[in-house]
Amino acid sequence: MCTGKCAKFIGIALYPLSIVSIVCNLILLFPGWETDPVKNPEQQMTPEVLYLGGVIGGGILVLIPAIHIQATGREGCCNNRCGMFLSIIFAAIGVAGSLYGFAVSIVGMVKGPQCQYSPFLNVVNVWGRPFNSELENFNENNYLFHRDMWAKCLKPEGVVEFNVILFSMVIASTGISLILCTIQMLNGLFGCLCGTCRNKE
């Protein structure tokens, strides 16, 4: 496959991945499909959701490079060595964005959701992160491996599943975007050195 066709394929593939990241992060703003947390985000939302890793990192910072990367695969002003060189820079931006979205989502999933729970028996429910643990302490005792612990979150209903599924989707989309943008950096380097190998009229 020539470098131009490869760039076009990568650019097109990045579009749905960035959209998935954006949509999933936006849905995370409404944990358990409830709107109340938006009114009180500092208490009822995790910082990782508010960091907008899926919107900014896996979304905007991947979508913008995708437009240029796809353009390098079409006949026109970007389908040359200079366009390929620029695609390396844009792909590097995509790598940085994907890494940001990936890292924020990993932390958000490992530390668990913000929810209303009872820390002790016969104690008034409080808002917090009952499963909160640092990355260096991640082991088989983490709530992700013990579904029976998920019932500890009382409100919003089903917030743990909500969190795990959506963060997993952002992790998957940003992970694939990271791989594709890295490939495009190498592809752009070859295209810059050897040309796009597209047939010219």
The string of pLDDT tens digits covering residues 134-188 is 777 777 888 888 888 898 888 888 899 999 999 999 999 999 999 999 999 998 8
Q: Which of 60, 67, 61 is closest to 86 using CA atoms? A: 67
- The predicted-structure confidence for 92-103, as pLDDT tens digits, reads as follows 999 999 999 999
The pLDDT of residue 200 is 46
| Mean pLDDT value of segment 11-35 | 92
Inter-axis angle of helices 159-194 and 61-71, to 10 degrees? 30
Please report the pLDDT score of residue 18 as a whole number.
Answer: 95
d(CA 104, CA 59): 13
**How far, CA to CA in Å, does 77 sit from each of 81, 83, 84, 135?**
10, 7, 11, 46
Grade residue 75 by pLDDT with cuts at 50, 70 and 90: low
Q: What is the mean pLDDT of the chain?
A: 86
Task: Give residue-wise pLDDT tens across range 181-193.
Answer: 999 999 888 877 7
Contacts of 57 (CB under 8 A, 6+ apart): 21, 97, 98, 99, 100, 101, 102, 104, 174
CB 154 within 8 A of CB 116: yes
pLDDT surpassing 60 at residue 198: no
Six token digits for residue 34 = 């409830």
Residues forming beta bridges with residue 150, ordered by sequence position:
none
